[in-house]
């Protein structure tokens, strides 16, 4: 979970920094928002690839564990052993 929070905070920081720089160059309002989203997305894609991979592994592991717990609860509820169908 920590890696998800760190990745999200890094994305927000890059977005804020991008918006700040673009505001200094005169972008305002909706244009500032659109340009900040586009530029920060590209920058994040390049700079945060390793962190994104770590976050993805954590999320995938969590989803697999949740699926195993769900399947276990189903077999427990139905009284059926896994693979005995």
Tell me the per-residue pLDDT of 42-84, one tens digit each, with 9 for 90 and over: 999 999 999 999 998 988 988 888 888 888 877 766 665 555 5
Q: What is the mean pLDDT of residues 8-14?
A: 96
From 6, 9, 4, select the one nearest 63 (Cα to Cα): 4
pLDDT at site 77: 61
pTM of the prediction? 0.71
Contacts (Cβ under 8 Å, ≥6 apart) of 7:
48, 51, 52, 54, 55
- Distance from C-alpha of 55 to C-alpha of 72, rounded to nearest angstrom: 26
Provide φ and ψ at 73, rounded to 5°. Answer: -65, -35
> pLDDT confidence of 11, banded at 50, 70, 90?
very high
């Amino acid at each position: 979970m920590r890696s998800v929070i760190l990745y999200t905070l890094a994305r927000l920081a890059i977005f804020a920094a991008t918006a700040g720089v673009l505001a200094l160059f005169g972008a305002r309002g909706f244009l500032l928002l659109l340009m900040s989203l586009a530029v920060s997305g590209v920058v994040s894609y390049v700079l945060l690839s390793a962190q994104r991979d770590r976050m993805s592994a954590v999320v995938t592991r969590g989803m697999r564990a949740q699926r195993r717990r769900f399947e276990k609860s189903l077999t427990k509820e139905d009284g059926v052993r896994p693979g005995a169908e």
